[in-house]
């Protein structure tokens, strides 16, 4: 967080000796550089990062850029969508924001009754590396949102490209974001496309973080065909044991692999099919063996319930699929969220 701006889902604001601006990084540098080659590039993407601030200004200029490829940002005022912008790689873009005049025409409780206060500007970043430069409110004060202006509960999500939001036309429509929207909670989306490998450095990082209230983990699909069942068991056990040890009272939910083409291969001896069944069994045995009151195993087939809601690659959900998954997952998470809210009073 800077003095007047909050950066959500951002573990580090990275600077460069040779380039201006602040890069929004979801993971600290030492964690990113411990991952696979692909994981290092995906961890550098600012997927689900948000720039948040509050101001009474009617007009605001926000200067940002996309680093390595063209990008897309969505702007919200509270929970309400406001505008979308396309960014060209390597070009500083000024978002010229204007406060919605029509908000004053309706009771404020209609705008502020879900998760975010309508006072909060939110710039949501899609799947690319975002560089932040400056905000200019033409002399009006700018401040970060106060605690009561943002959701009171936060879900940490770690998983594959599906969790990161792949398949949706905008990653904001990914099932994790949709789940959070339905439950009125915040989300830290740490999905890593094609590189959810549960490395020990990443596992330690997740366990050491304290900025979440419940964790949702989608494990296994990226390791089929590259990691043995024994190694998957070792990695998943290390990850889950660490989170449970550091957060014994927080809800931790793990899902088996979502239904995909390998689930239904004609060739049942295909390495992906065999590994998928074995990995799912590993997770089931782990949860049974720990008998931890706050650890829950979910059946991925009960979250991704419509095979035709996948895209034609037969693994990533379409927008429709992400929406269905968000609806299903929200139903499974709601009891935990309700208990957390009751505990907050």
For residue 184, what pLDDT is reported?
A: 97
Distance (Å, rounded) from C-alpha 337 to C-alpha 137?
37
Range 6-149: architecture per CATH = Sandwich (2.60)
pLDDT of the residue at 1: 60
In CATH, what is the architecture of 154-344? 3-Layer(aba) Sandwich (3.40)
CB 280 within 8 A of CB 256: yes
- At 345 the three-state DSSP class reads coil
Contact 221, 186 (CB under 8 A): no
- The domain locations on the chain are 6-149, 154-344
| Element housing 159 (H / E) | none
Residue-level pLDDT at 3 = 79
Q: What is the pLDDT of residue 345?
A: 79
Model pLDDT, residue 2: 75
Sign of CA dihedral 58, 61, 66, 70: positive
Q: How far is CA 344 from CA 123, 213, 339, 340, 341, in A?
A: 28, 11, 9, 6, 5
Nearest to residue 97, comparing CAs of 136, 139, 128?
136
User: Residues of 277-303 as b/e, b for ≥16 C-beta within 10 angstroms?
Assistant: bbbbebbeebbeeeeeebbbbbebeeb
Please identify every stretch of the chain with a pLDDT value under 50, giving residue numbers as ranges. none
pLDDT of residue 293: 95
């Amino acid at each position: 967080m800077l003095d007047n701006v909050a950066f959500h889902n951002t573990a580090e604001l990275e600077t460069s000796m040779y380039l201006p601006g602040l890069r929004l990084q979801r993971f600290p540098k030492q964690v990113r550089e411990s991952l696979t080659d692909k994981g290092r590039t995906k961890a550098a993407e600012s997927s689900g990062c948000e720039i948040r601030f509050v101001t009474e200004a009617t007009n605001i200029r926000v200067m940002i850029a996309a680093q390595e490829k063209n990008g897309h940002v969505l702007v919200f005022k509270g929970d309400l969508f406001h505008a979308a912008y396309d960014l060209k790689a390597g070009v500083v873009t000024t978002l010229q924001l204007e406060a919605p005049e029509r908000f004053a025409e309706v009771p404020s409780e209609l705008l502020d009754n879900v998760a975010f206060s309508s006072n909060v500007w939110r710039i949501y970043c899609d799947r690319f590396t975002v560089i932040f430069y400056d905000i200019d409110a033409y002399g009006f004060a700018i401040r970060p949102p106060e605690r009561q202006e943002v959701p009171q509960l936060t879900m940490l999500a770690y998983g594959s490209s599906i969790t990161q939001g792949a398949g949706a036309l905008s990653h904001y429509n990914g099932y994790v974001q949709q789940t959070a929207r339905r439950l009125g909670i915040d989300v830290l989306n740490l999905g890593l496309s094609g590189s959810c490998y549960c490395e020990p450095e990443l596992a330690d990082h997740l366990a050491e973080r304290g900025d979440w209230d419940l964790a949702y983990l989608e494990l296994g699909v990226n390791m089929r065909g590259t990691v043995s069942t024994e190694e998957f068991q070792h990695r998943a056990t290390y990850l889950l044991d660490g989170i449970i040890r550091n957060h014994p009272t927080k809800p931790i939910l793990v899902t088996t692999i979502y239904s995909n083409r390998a689930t239904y291969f004609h060739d049942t001896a295909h390495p992906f099919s065999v590994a998928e069944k074995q990995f799912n069994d590993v997770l089931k045995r782990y949860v049974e063996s720990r008998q931890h009151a706050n650890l829950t195993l979910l059946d991925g087939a009960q979250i991704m319930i419509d095979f035709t809601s996948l895209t034609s690659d037969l693994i990533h959900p379409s927008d429709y699929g992400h929406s269905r998954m968000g609806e299903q997952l929200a139903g499974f998470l709601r009891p935990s969220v309700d208990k957390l809210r009751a505990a907050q009073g």
